[in-house]
Amino acid sequence: MQKITPFLWFDGNAQDAIDFYTSIFKDARVNSVMPGPDGKMMGAAFELEGQSFMALNGGPQFQFTPAISLYVHCQTQEEVDHYWSRLGEGGSYQPCGWLKDKFGLSWQIIPGLLSQMLGDKDRARAGRAMQAMMKMTRIDIAALQAAYDGV
């Protein structure tokens, strides 16, 4: 088990959330399920792309906020588009590659190239990439590259 594992609190729909997430990520599995007193799932341990998570059907007391988000590092536009469309199903799309899924959990769907661009020592190039990103909801790698290159 990882030393630190995100623990996600759901309002009675943890099983639906786990089924949803494990259907989206290629390397995903449920490791264990803890039944509740009524026989329904109370909690579970699952993995997405090697990252361990715990889920609990805790009730309505707590809700997710964008103060915590899950960052999905993508290599290609195809990967960005896949996670953007699938995780966004039934949720809402936010600026700059962020979305809130149908369970209220926030995700950032970001190509690795963006971090490189924003960290460029040429601040003009980095600034153009930042300005382009600020106008996007789903990140468009080609448009980022064009802005970065000054095209």
Query: Which domain covers residue 107, as residue numbers?
Result: 64-151
Number of domains, the chain? 2
What tokens were used for 100?
């809130």
Same domain for 44 and 77? Answer: no
The CA distance from 67 to 65, in Å, is 5
The DSSP 8-state label assigned to residue 108 in this structure reads: E
Residue-level pLDDT, tens digit, the chain, 151 residues: 689 999 999 999 999 999 999 999 999 999 999 999 888 899 999 999 999 999 999 999 999 999 999 999 999 999 999 999 999 999 999 999 999 999 999 999 999 999 999 999 999 999 999 999 999 999 999 999 999 999 9
Same domain for 79 and 109? Answer: yes
Same domain for 56 and 73? Answer: no
Tell me, what amino acid is at 123? R
Nearest partner of 101 among 69, 132, 133, 129, judged by Cα: 69
Same domain for 70 and 57? Answer: no
86 forms beta bridges with none
Can you list the alpha helix ranges (DSSP code H) found in the chain? 14-24, 77-88, 112-118, 123-134, 141-149
Choosing from 39, 62, 85, the residue where a domain stops is 62
Residue 79: count other Cβ atoms within 10 Å of its Cβ: 16
pTM recorded for the entire structure: 0.94
Q: What share of the chain is helix, strand, coil (3-state, %, to 5)?
A: 35, 30, 35
Same domain for 80 and 151? Answer: yes
Say which residue the tokens 């989206």 belong to. Answer: 24
Residue 102: count other Cβ atoms within 10 Å of its Cβ: 15
Query: Three-state DSSP class for 92?
Result: strand
Same domain for 91 and 150? Answer: yes
Q: What is the pLDDT of residue 38?
A: 87
Same domain for 43 and 79? Answer: no
Choosing from 22, 47, 62, the residue where a domain stops is 62
Same domain for 49 and 96? Answer: no
Say which residue the tokens 């290599």 belong to. Answer: 75
Same domain for 57 and 68? Answer: no
Choosing from 29, 45, 62, the residue where a domain stops is 62
Q: What is the pLDDT of residue 37?
A: 87
Same domain for 151 and 94? Answer: yes
What CATH number does residue 78 fall under?
Answer: 3.10.180.10
Same domain for 72 and 131? Answer: yes
Q: What is the pLDDT of residue 106?
A: 98
